[in-house]
Chains A and B, each alone.
Chain A
Amino acid sequence: MRLVSRRARAQWPLLAALLGVVTIGATVLGTCTLLVTRTAERALEVAVARAAPSAVDVTVYTGTVEGRDTPSVAADTRTVVASTLAPFPVTTTARASTVLRALPPGLATGTTVPAQAYLSGLDDLPARSELVTGRWPQHPGDAVLLESTAQLLGLTPGRRVRLGAELAHAPVPPIDVLVVGVVRPLPARGWDRDPLATAGSAAGYRDGRFMQPVNAYGPFLVDLADLVTTGATVDRMEVTAHPDLSHSNRHDLETVVEAVDGVDRRLAGTLGDRVQLARVASELPATLRSADDQRHVTAAAVLAIAVLGGVLAATALVLAGRLTTGIRADETALRSALGASRRQLAATATVEAGFVAAVAAALAIPASSALHAGLTHLPPLDGAGLTVRPAVVGAQVLAVVGGALVLAAVLIVLAIRPVPAASDQRTRRELLARSGADLMLAVFAAAGWWQLYAQPTDASPRADAVRMLAPALLLTAGAALALRVVLPALRGADRLAYRARGLAFPLAVAEAARRPQAVAAGLLVGLACAAGTFGLAFDDTWHQSQRDQAALAVGTDLALTLSTAPVAGDGAVLSAATAGAVSPALDRGTAVGQWLGSAGDAPRLVAVDTTRADALLRGRLDNDRGWADVGATLAPPTRVNGLAVPAGAPLVLSGTAAGDTPPVVTPRLMLQDATGLRTACTGPAVPLDGREFRLPACATADGLRLVAVALPVTADAGGGPVAVAVTLTVPPAGPAEDPTDGSDWTATSAPPIPSRLRDPTVMVSATPTGTTLRMAATVDLGGVEDAARTLVATAFPDPGPVPVAVSARFASEVGVESGSQLSVTVGITPVPVVVTEVVPAVPSAPGAVAVLADLDTLSRARAVTGDLTFPVDAWWVGHPAGPGAAERATALHLGAVATREAETARLIGGPLLAGLPAALRLIVPAAALLLLAGVVLHVTCDLQARAVEVTRLRGLGMSRRGIRAVLLGQHAGVLLPVLAAGAAVGALATRVVAPLLVRSETGAAPVPATQAHWPWPAEAALLAVLLAGCMLAVAVVVTVQVRRADATHLRVAP
């Protein structure tokens, strides 16, 4: 103990260096442990607390509840759900819809089909809708209507309506309601679960209770409490419970998930036969599982960083230990000569190492807590809501103490191993051992890389040893092998340098090349440089991958998923709000021929305006292709013009047909707005008896153009072929418009039996009253009454097979290539397509079997078959202007808005994923710090050991300046190539390993596949800092040592 104590006092700088290295290593381990424990747990809680209501809500659906049971069923359901989600506070909302009831005969005229209506009760109606006129229900019997329902039924506030008997149940009294207001449904407020999805009406509605279809209207919206007391049979009731998870913990969450898994059984037991059906739906268990998976994905990557930090610290410690052993060689030899046994030497080393470990652990525990807390106050952890105060946890203490002890053990091993010969020459045994170690490292590294390379692409969130160890192994092996290259390079430089005339330069190079101890710090310097550069590049690669994944997942800059059917002019409003390139988009499942895809993984069909593909589509392509290139192969050759229709102008239809009983046409018109949105408008049945009929105002907005007309011809009585002629007159749009539009109007007979309508023609002409579209054909009226005989006139020719780009997975699974012809089903219409491009993935459908098409062309292909419905699910916006575009788009209440930017922020700064960038921010400075510490330690020891030699150089007549130049040159000669080799190893590891380490949030391989990124400016800055730091450290040490190189050394030298 006395020896250790005295030696500590005498060699305190050395001991401080050892302590520093062990402390840094233990601190890195402790901080990483806190990231994978405390931060990860907190991240889970924050992620759950921030989850969208739909991700954590528990909804109970009950079906067909007799009126007398409705109050008790509603109450019991709320009780069961609330108890399931205990101990979290719960808020419940409920809605219910009655079975259909007869409407008074005075409403919904003009049809012989029974008109039915239903009531819906919502207990938070004002939160789900916007009052347009009137007031909210306040008294029993008060009801409000959706705009659409009110318009169709001609109801205004103040009208009383008696909803009659329920058709399918025992007679119950009619219900009188007073219409007190008209409302507009708000998007994403659950209106999709309205029986008519807020359409307001549905012709030919079948709810399973009637054999015959009815015309359904509704809902009549009343207060839920009012509804359950009416005694009406409830067709469907749903109770949604939203748990407040803002103060959750893992244990409570797991308890709740278990309870949710078993709530079906409890509910069935509670409700018994009061309900015909009871079903519970909740995303909460899946949300927690997903969060847990993300936590594990992040933890695996953070642990890989921790292992790298540990290896770096161990390398630094081995260097420090070797230098210490070298400095103490004389002392050790003396003690051995005085009879100290190996055990006694070990005991001394253990006491010293134990002291170092204890002090390092004592320092590293608060240091790691403080560092961790500091990290959580920096992006991305602070943005993820993971800010914490410094605290100590058990796992952290274990990691720090364990790490410090392991590192201390390294010191003991180094202290008791035989002291190497004083000579600079390595023994054959040492060289063999070094070669063997390098070879083993290389083999392990290659095996690790192969394991990573061959890992499955599917979700595998659990951390495995290979993913944790591979980066450290590869970097260590790379650094060790790079040193093998550096030494011959230095020797080559040595041969060249000796051609110089002076002494300083060749001597510096000779010192660097010929003295094996000159590169003693080479492994640490190379490894730390490799780790630092790799850390930066991995960070950039990970971020870029998240950006790529976000871009491909959203598919565009801003996607607005429609909650209700769009209307003409919506695109213009959205365009004004976002100032971006707006296009309607189709994004839904499809069938390829008869193939519906794998289970739960239907082929996806995505279609947008591909003439603006470059502005609209996002997601990385390969082979230097851009979306403009792909879009060019998909876009139609010309735009559709069509006939301009003034807003609100009545279109007039008349027709003639031979025969006594004129056939009837039910015209369907397709109008297109400036953004390419096409809306269909169906007119009333018009007899072809020569009279003119005004069609209801289809042109609901400015700038619409008529692009297609479908005329299904029906006749009450059969017969033979009849010539029919139909004229559609469009009022003049204005002097600037070409009345005849210049379009190539084409008439066709729609499938499936086009032969029933022959010789279709269409002609456009300008008249004083407007533009007329004259259509004619010969119709075979034989056969069944509703057989298809549809004359279709379009402002474009049949586009033929629609050109499509398919995803690589589509091409692989379906076995197609460019030129292949297929059929995809849109709605119920099969559309022939031809593959023109194979792309890695289709925007918004990452990793899916997906098809990308031009929406216009797709619509044309459907229109020529008589299907004038325009398949649209979303609006896509490219290049929205300003940061508030998403908010402005959301304020339009057209649907749910997702942006590439927000998705990127979620993937990068989400609480469950933010741990990795934080850990990477830790490893880069830690590597730099250890590198600098190693360099200072090495240079100091080197110069101390060579103090006499340095003084003797002065004796030879070399000035202090010259000696400084030699020493600086020597260390620069080693550091420069080693740093360069380390950077090369970092770059190589980035190229071959980083893409394999990045996983998606589910643990699967990311889509698109990760590409290595090497951030040149950041890397150059890091290398400059490392180089400058090294050279500054070397310069300071050299200057001090050279200044001290005076005659004192010669007097005391042997």
Chain B
Amino acid sequence: MSSEPMLSVRGVHRRFRTGPTVVHALNGVSFDVAAGSMVALVGRSGSGKTTLLNVIGGLDRPDAGTVHVDGTDVTALDEDGLSRLRREKVSYVFQSFGLIPVLSAAENVAAPLRMARVAPTERERRVELLLELIGLADHARQRPAELSGGQQQRVAIARALAASPQLLLADEPTGQLDAETGLSVMALLRGIVESEGVTVLVSTHDAVMMALADRVIRIHDGHLDEQAAGQPYAPAPDAR
């Protein structure tokens, strides 16, 4: 494991204005994530988890503060640089899977490889491997609507891994899954951290997921409050 953190977030502020109201989604958030670790980001709805992930992935820009991914200052990148960052270093797994409805499972997994203009032979080999990895090799030609929620999320994870990212951002990946399916997805993510060495930052409410994480960062009202890895999730004192 490198001494340099894979992710470094420093003094990030993000405010949203809704009419006359200003919401401080992130309020001076700072933390580091070591490479090859799995960090759980927990907090109640509206606490700023998704905003933080979006800022880290460059989908959103902070009002202040910096984000470094593998030494790259994300906040300094222009639009093309951010797109390149997401193609090469950062991958997303969305709560509602985010698969492209018109593409089959295999085609969804191949999407990042196509963006990276990987040669067709290599692309097909890698898609096959990834589908086998997630146990959906037999469902390669099925479209998302023909897959179950768990299967879709596994495809989403496979797609996220396709471009060999260094950082995987997962936004409540088990939020729409039943407990059993959620568990298998969590196990898959943990396995990927172990086998691929990918750094995973996952926002979750799930205690099991927190238990699988190397570290848990709690966020409430835009502030961070770190707790020990493997500790059961405890709501913040002010959480209702």
| Interface assignment of B54: CB less than 8 Å from any CB of chain A | yes
A553 to B50, CA, bound (A): 81
Binary flags per residue of A845-875, CB closer than 8 Å to B gives 1, else 0: 0000000000000000000000000000000
A1054 interface residue (CB < 8 Å to B): yes
- Whether the pair B102, A511 counts as a contact (CB closer than 8 A) is yes
Q: Which residue of B lies closest to A946 (CB)?
A: B101
Tell which of B79, B92, B96, B145 touches A959, judged by Cβ atoms closer than 8 Å: B79
Interface residues of B in 178-199 (CB under 8 A from A): none
CB proximity of A957 to chain B, nearest CB, Å: 3
Docked CA distance A893–B112 (Å): 88
User: In the bound complex, how far is the Cα of B13 from the Cα of A257, in angstroms?
Assistant: 91
A1047 touches B96 (CB 8 A): no
A1008–B119 Cα distance when bound, in Å, is: 65
- Is B114 an interface residue when CB atoms closer than 8 A count as contact? yes
Within 8 Å CB of B236, what residues of A? Answer: none
Partner of A956, one of B54, B60, B86, B120: B86
B100 touches A949 (CB 8 A): yes
B198: min CB distance to chain A, Å? 16
A499 to B115, CA, bound (A): 14
Q: Which of B108-129 contact A (CB under 8 A)?
A: 111-112, 114-115, 117, 119-120
Complex-state Cα separation, A960 to B58, whole angstroms: 13
Is A139 part of the binding interface, using a Cβ–Cβ cutoff of 8 Å? no
B94 within 8 A of A: yes
Q: Does A79 contact B (CB under 8 A)?
A: no
Are A424 and B102 within 8 A (Cβ)? Answer: yes
Q: What 0/1 readout, one digit per residue, does chain A (147-180) give for beta carbons within 8 Å of chain B?
A: 0000000000000000000000000000000000
In the bound complex, how far is the Cα of B96 from the Cα of A507, in angstroms?
20
Q: How far is the CA of A1050 from the CA of B96 in the complex (A)?
A: 10
Rounded to whole Å, the gap between the CB of B219 and the closest CB of chain A is 14
User: Do A501 and B96 have beta carbons less than 8 Å apart?
Assistant: no
- Residues of A contacting B147 with CB < 8 Å? none
* Bound Cα distance A410, B176 (Å): 38
Q: Judge whether A1054 and B95 touch: CB under 8 Å.
A: yes
Q: Is the beta-carbon distance between B102 and A423 smaller than 8 angstroms?
A: no
Q: Could you say which residues of chain A place their CB within 8 Å of the CB of B76?
A: none
**In the complex, chain B residues whose CB is within 8 Å of the CB of A1046:** 59-60
- CB contacts (< 8 Å) of A962 on chain B: these are 83, 115
State whether the Cβ of B51 lies closer than 8 Å to any Cβ in chain A: yes
Give complex CA distance A959, B86 in Å. 10
B50 interface neighbour in A503, A514, A953, A1051, Cβ under 8 Å: A1051
- Our pick among A948, A956, A1047 for the contact of B115 (Cβ within 8 Å) is A956
Contact A1050 B50 (CB under 8 A): yes
A134 at the interface (CB under 8 A from B): no
Q: Please count how many residues in chain B sit with their CB below 8 Å of the partner chain's CB atoms.
A: 36
The answer to whether B59 and A957 touch across the interface, beta carbons within 8 angstroms, is no
Which residues of B are found within 8 Å of A1047, using beta-carbon distances?
50-51, 54, 59-60
Most chain B Cβ neighbours within 10 Å, of A956, A1047, A1053: A956
The reply to whether B101 and A501 form a contact with Cβ atoms under 8 Å apart is: no
Is there contact, CB below 8 Å, between B115 and A424? Answer: no
Interfacial chain B residues near A955, Cβ < 8 Å = 57, 59, 86, 92, 94, 98
Asked if B80 CB lies within 8 Å of chain A CBs, one says yes
A 477-508 to B, binary, CB cutoff 8 A, 1 in contact else 0: 00000000000000000000011011100110
B163 close to A (CB within 8 Å):
yes
Is B207 in the interface zone, CB < 8 Å from A?
Answer: no
Q: Is residue B84 contacting chain A, with contact meaning CB distance below 8 A?
A: yes
Per-position 1/0 for A506-534, Cβ under 8 A of B: 11001100110000000000000000000
Is A128 part of the contact surface with B, judged by Cβ < 8 Å? no
Asked if A959 and B80 sit within 8 Å, CB to CB, the answer is yes
Indicate whether B68 reaches chain A with its CB closer than 8 angstroms.
no
A958 within 8 A of B: yes
Central interface residue in A425, A499, A951, A957, by most chain B CB within 10 Å: A957
Q: Which residues of B contact A515 (CB under 8 A)?
A: 101-102
**Chain B 12-32: CB-based contact to A (< 8 A → 1; otherwise 0):** 000000000000000000000
- The listed residue (B54, B83, B94, B159) touching A958 by CB distance below 8 A is B83
Beta-carbon nearest neighbor of B60 in chain A: A1047
CB-nearest residue of chain A to B116? A957
Closest-CB distance, A487 to chain B (whole angstroms): 14
Are A957 and B101 in contact, with the CB atoms below 8 A? no
B103 at the interface (CB under 8 A from A): yes
A50 at the interface (CB under 8 A from B): no
Known: A949-B101, A1047-B51. A957 touches B94 (CB 8 A): no
Complex-state Cα separation, A731 to B51, whole angstroms? 118
- Whether A958 pairs with B115 at a CB distance below 8 angstroms is yes
Q: How far is the CA of A1053 from the CA of B171 in the complex (A)?
A: 11
Instruction: Count chain B CB atoms within 10 A of each CB in A501, A949, A1047 and give the residue with the most.
Output: A1047
Q: A1046–B59 Cα gap in the complex (Å)?
A: 7
Give Cα A55–Cα B56 distance, bound, in whole angstroms.
89
Asked whether A957 lies within 8 Å of B86 as measured between CB atoms, the reply is yes
User: Can you name the residue of chain B whose Cβ is closest to the Cβ of A422?
Assistant: B145
Residues from 932 to 988 in A contacting B, C-beta threshold 8 Å: 948-949, 951-960, 962
Q: Is B139 an interface residue (CB 8 A)?
A: no
User: Is B114 a contact partner of A503 (Cβ separation < 8 A)?
Assistant: yes
* Nearest CB in chain B to that of A959: its residue: B83
Report if A507-B95 is in contact (Cβ < 8 Å); known contacts: A956-B115, A1046-B59, A1046-B60.
no
Q: How far is the CA of A951 from the CA of B96 in the complex (A)?
A: 13
Taking a contact as CB atoms under 8 Å apart, the answer to whether B102 and A957 are in contact is no
- A1054 CA / B175 CA spacing, docked (Å): 9
**Residue of B88, B103, B112 touching A510 (CB-CB under 8 A):** B103
A residues less than 8 Å from B94 (CB atoms): 952, 955, 1050, 1053
Q: In the complex, what distance in Å separates the CA atom of A952 from the CA atom of B108?
A: 12
Within 8 A of B (CB), among A123-154: none
Complex alpha-carbon distance, A92 and B49, angstroms: 100
Measured CA separation A858–B153 after assembly (Å): 96
Q: Does B10 contact A (CB under 8 A)?
A: no
Please report the C-alpha to C-alpha distance between residue A643 and residue B92 in the assembled complex, in whole angstroms: 107
Residues on A with beta carbons closer than 8 Å to the beta carbon of B85: 957
B86 contacts A510, C-beta separation under 8 Å? no
Select one of B96, B115, B145 contacting A503, CB under 8 A: B115
Judge whether A507 and B101 touch: CB under 8 Å.
no
CB contacts (< 8 Å) of A953 on chain B: these are 100
The residue in chain A whose Cβ has the minimal distance to the Cβ of B54 is A1047
A818 and B176 alpha carbons, distance in the complex (Å) = 88
Please report the C-alpha to C-alpha distance between residue A38 and residue B148 in the assembled complex, in whole angstroms: 65
Give the shortest distance, in Å, between B53 (CB) and chain A (any CB). Answer: 9
- Residues in B with CB closer than 8 Å to A1053 are 94-96
Chain A CB within 8 A of B223 CB: no
Chain A 1036-1054 residues near chain B, CB threshold 8 A: 1046-1047, 1050-1051, 1053-1054
Find chain B residues with CB under 8 A from A506 CB.
114
Rounded to whole angstroms, the CA-CA distance of A955 and B93 in the bound complex is: 9
Instruction: Report yes or no: B96 in contact with A424, Cβ–Cβ below 8 A.
Output: no
In the bound complex, residues from chain A placing their C-beta under 8 Å from that of B44 are none
Further pairs besides A424-B102, A949-B100, A1053-B96: 14, Cβ < 8 Å: A424-B145, A498-B107, A515-B102, A948-B96, A949-B101, A957-B84, A957-B85, A957-B87, A957-B88, A959-B79, A960-B79, A962-B83, A962-B115, A1050-B54
B interface list, Cβ under 8 A from A = 50-51, 54, 57, 59-60, 79-80, 83-88, 92, 94-96, 98, 100-103, 107, 111-112, 114-115, 117, 119-120, 145, 159, 163, 171, 176
Q: Could you write out 9 A-B pairs with CB less than 8 Å apart?
A: A424-B102, A507-B103, A949-B98, A949-B101, A955-B98, A958-B83, A1046-B60, A1047-B54, A1051-B50
- A-B residue pairs, 9 tightest by C-beta: A957-B87, A957-B86, A1047-B60, A503-B114, A1047-B54, A959-B83, A514-B102, A952-B98, A955-B92
